[in-house]
Amino acid sequence: MSSLSPEQIRTLMDAAKQSIRHAYIPYSQYPVGAAVLTEEGKIICGINIENASYPAGTCAERVALGNAISQGMTKFVAIAVYSPKGEISPCGVCRQFISEFGPEIQILFHWQGELQQCPIKELLPFSFSSKQLNA
């Protein structure tokens, strides 16, 4: 498991927290921000984007990763998820999406009053991967 320094954790969580000001949440009023730390040390943010047709909305984690990928970055160390509304962790779709880029990516989120850090493989132990496609 890759361990993040206290400074990296603070910086990443602060970036996720700051990004929520751009969340597009006209229906739920539930802002979520995410910040991805790349292997190059860059932090790329994303926010949730709602749509009147609810399934068409996009989670902050996938927006952050999509922003990074669109800039040519595909190697990630960690992703922080934040909402001022309280406890939050990546949804199932986001867990699968994150796992595409490596089982050791550290996930930071608040749960039961504490900051949690664990690799994505612990949040989604039986993820679907290219191994199943090549079976």
**Model confidence over 9-30: pLDDT tens digits?**
999 999 999 999 999 999 999 9
- Under CATH, to which class is 6-133 assigned? alpha beta
**Per the residue annotation, which of 39, 61, 87, 100 is the catalytic one?**
61
| Both tokens assigned to 9 | 């954790």
**Model confidence over 31-76: pLDDT tens digits?**
999 999 999 999 999 999 999 999 999 999 999 999 999 999 999 9
Domain ranges of the chain: 6-133
Q: Is 61 a catalytic residue?
A: yes
Q: What is the pTM of this model?
A: 0.93
**Residue 110: what residue type?**
H
